[in-house]
Chain A
C-alpha cells in the first residue's frame, strides 16, 4: 500500500524497532486526512450542484414555497435556449471575454518581455504592477464609477487632456457604445499583471544556451523571437488564457459594481442575467436550468482547451 521505501526499511529492521513504528496505519491516516475536505466539498459544492440540476426540471419558485412543485421536463432548457435576451447576454459575455483576453495577452506579454530585459529595479516595478490584481473587484469597480464620471472623473479628464476633447462630452458608463469598453478597460487594468507574471515565468524558463546556439547559427533576433521565444512561452501563455477565460466567464462582482449590466442590458453578462432570474425574479427552476447550461458550457470549453494545451506542451 505504501508508495515509498519506508515499508521495505521497516520490514528490514529488527522487530524491536519495527514494533515502535506504531500508531494508526498509514491507510487510516490517509483517509482521516482526506475525508474532512472531501465531505465539506461534497456538502457545499457537489450537493448544491445536484440540487440545482434537480430544480432545473421543475417550476419551483423560492418566493412561493406553498405552490405545488411540478416537474416540467426540459421546458426550462427550451425556454432559455430560445430566449433572445439570453443570447444577447451570451454575446455580451463573448465580446467581453474575447477583448479582455486579447488585450491582456498583448499587453501582458509585452510587459513580461520588457521586464525580462532585467533592467535595474525590475523586481520592484513588477511588484507595483501586480497590485491591482489582488484587490477586491467589487470595491475597486465601485470606485472606477467615480473615475469614469463625465467632467469630474479622472479617466475622462485624462482622456480629454490627451485627445483634446471635452471631458464632459462622453460618459463611459451611460453610453451604450462605450459601456462594453468601460468594463473591458477596468478588467484589463486589473488582470494584465496576471498574464504578465505567467509569461515572465515562461520567459525565465528558457535556458540561455538555446539563444547562444541560435546566435552561433547566425539566426537573426527576429527569427530567434519567433522560433524560440514564442513557441517556448506558448504553453504558459495558453495556461494564462485558460485561467482568465474561466474567471471572466464567471465575471460578476466587477461588472455589477461598474455598470450593473446597464445601460439597458448592454453589459449584462450571463452571471448578472442569471442573478436577475434567480434573486430578483425568483424563477428558481428556470435559473437553475440557466446555471446548469453555463456550467456545462464552461466545463466543456475548458476541457477542449486543456486538450489543445496538452498537445502544445508535448510538441
Chain B
C-alpha cells in the first residue's frame, strides 16, 4: 500500500495536526473532568489553594446532594449516640446531622418524566408529520415546513409571557403535563425536519411494492416505513431528549415547586455554609454523564441533529 497521493497529508503533517488537536481536546475536557473530580472532593479540598489535582476521594458531596443537614452543638451530637449508617457517620465528622432527604431526587425524577414524556410525544407527532411531508403533496408544504422551523428562532423569553398567562388560566403552570406539552412544541421543529430527512432516504419503491401486495397506506407506513426508519427515529429521539433535558429558560420561569426540573435546581444547592461545591458538582455529574454517554452513541448522526438536517454526512 504505497501508492503516492498528492492529496494525502505527509506523516509529519499528520503528527503535527494530531498533537494540536489532542492538546485542544485535553484543554476542553479539563472543566468537565474538574466537575467530576470536585464531586469526589471534601469541601475543604474543593476550595484549597492551589487547586488540588490529587486528593483523597470521598462521597461526601453525593451524601450532601441527597440530604438536608443541620449543625448541632458538640454535646448534643454526643447525646445522639453512635451513628447507625455509613452516611450518618460521614456527616457527623463535620458536626452536622442529617435531617431529611433533599429535593434533588425529586427534581431529577421531574427531568426524567418531562424529558421522556415530551420525547415520546415529539416522536409520535414528528414521525407522522415527517412521513406526510416526505411522501405526499401537502398544500403549502414549503411554507408549512418553514413555519415549523421559524418557531425555533423566537427567544424563549419572548413567548414565555403569554405562555405563562395561558398556562395559568388553564391550570397548567408548574405541572408535568404543561411542561411536556411545552417541550414537545419546542422540539417538534427539530423532530419533523430530522425525520423528514431520514424518511426521504428510504426508497419509495418499498411502499409501492407493499401497496401492490394489498397493504393499505397506513399498513405500508407502519409495517414497511417505520422499521426502516428505526435508526433515524432513535437518533432523533435522543436529540429531543437531550434538548428537553438541558432546557432552562422555560423551566426557571414556569415551574417552581412541583414540576421543577434539575437545571434550575442544581445551581441553588447550598450547604450549611455557602455554596456547597462538591454537592453541586455531584449533582452536575449525575445530570451530565448520561448526556455524555448519549453523545458518544450518537456521534454518527450528531452533525445532522445539530443542524436540523441541513448538513448530512
**Contact at A40–B31, with CB atoms within 8 Å?**
no
**Contact at A130–B158, with CB atoms within 8 Å?**
no
**Which residues does B use to contact A, with CB under 8 Å?**
5-7, 9, 13-15, 17-18, 20-22, 24-25, 28-32, 34-35, 38, 47-51, 125-126, 128-129, 131-133, 135-138, 144, 147-148, 150-166, 181-182, 184-185, 188-189, 192, 204, 207-208, 211-212, 214, 216-219, 221, 242, 245-246, 248-249, 252-253, 262-264, 266-267, 275, 277, 280-281, 283-284, 287-288, 291-292, 294-296, 299, 302-303, 306-307, 310-311, 313
**Contact at B157–A26, with CB atoms within 8 Å?**
no
Binding stretch for chain B, among A66-74, A75-83, A173-181, A208-216:
A208-216
**Contact at A4–B208, with CB atoms within 8 Å?**
yes
Q: A31-B132, A40-B185, A52-B162 are in contact. List 18 more A-B contacts (CB 8 A).
A: A2-B137, A6-B204, A24-B216, A27-B136, A29-B217, A37-B126, A37-B192, A41-B151, A129-B24, A131-B28, A136-B287, A137-B248, A143-B35, A201-B311, A204-B313, A257-B267, A279-B253, A295-B153
**Contact at B30–A154, with CB atoms within 8 Å?**
yes
The contact size tier of chain A is 35 or more
* Distance between Cα atoms of A211 and B7 in the complex (Å): 7
Known: A21-B214, A153-B51. A125 touches B292 (CB 8 A): no
Smallest CB separation, B125 vs chain A (Å): 5
* Distance between Cα atoms of A70 and B26 in the complex (Å): 58
* Distance between Cα atoms of A7 and B305 in the complex (Å): 34
Majority SS of interface residues in chain B? helix
**Contact at A152–B48, with CB atoms within 8 Å?**
yes
**Contact at B151–A198, with CB atoms within 8 Å?**
no
Which of B47, B49, B164, B287 has a CB less than 8 Å from the CB of A139? B287
List chain A residues, Cβ under 8 A from B31. 132, 140, 143-144, 147, 154, 189
**Contact at B21–A143, with CB atoms within 8 Å?**
no
Which of A23, A36, A138, A152 has a CB less than 8 Å from the CB of B219? A23
A-B contact pairs, 29 of them (CB 8 A): A4-B135, A6-B208, A23-B218, A30-B136, A31-B132, A34-B138, A34-B144, A36-B129, A38-B144, A40-B181, A41-B147, A47-B162, A51-B165, A52-B159, A115-B21, A117-B18, A139-B283, A144-B31, A146-B280, A147-B34, A201-B303, A201-B313, A204-B313, A208-B5, A275-B253, A278-B160, A294-B155, A295-B153, A295-B154
**Contact at A135–B159, with CB atoms within 8 Å?**
no
**Contact at B263–A138, with CB atoms within 8 Å?**
yes
* Distance between Cα atoms of A243 and B309 in the complex (Å): 12
**Contact at A250–B216, with CB atoms within 8 Å?**
no
**Contact at B153–A302, with CB atoms within 8 Å?**
yes
Smallest CB separation, A232 vs chain B (Å): 14
Instruction: For chain A, residues 116 to 131, give those with C-beta under 8 angstroms from any C-beta of chain B.
Output: 117-123, 125-131
Known: A37-B128, A275-B157. A142 touches B267 (CB 8 A): yes
Known: A5-B208, A131-B32, A134-B292. A48 touches B162 (CB 8 A): yes
Most chain A beta-carbon neighbours within 10 Å: one of B137, B144, B204, B245: B137
List 5 tightest A-B contacts by C-beta distance, closest first: A23-B216, A291-B158, A119-B18, A44-B185, A48-B162
Question: A194 in the interface, Cβ–Cβ < 8 Å?
Answer: yes
Smallest CB separation, A244 vs chain B (Å): 11
Known: A4-B204, A130-B295, A143-B31. A120 touches B18 (CB 8 A): yes
**Considering only CB atoms, which chain A residue lies closest to B20 in the complex?**
A114
List chain A residues, Cβ under 8 A from B307. 198, 239, 243
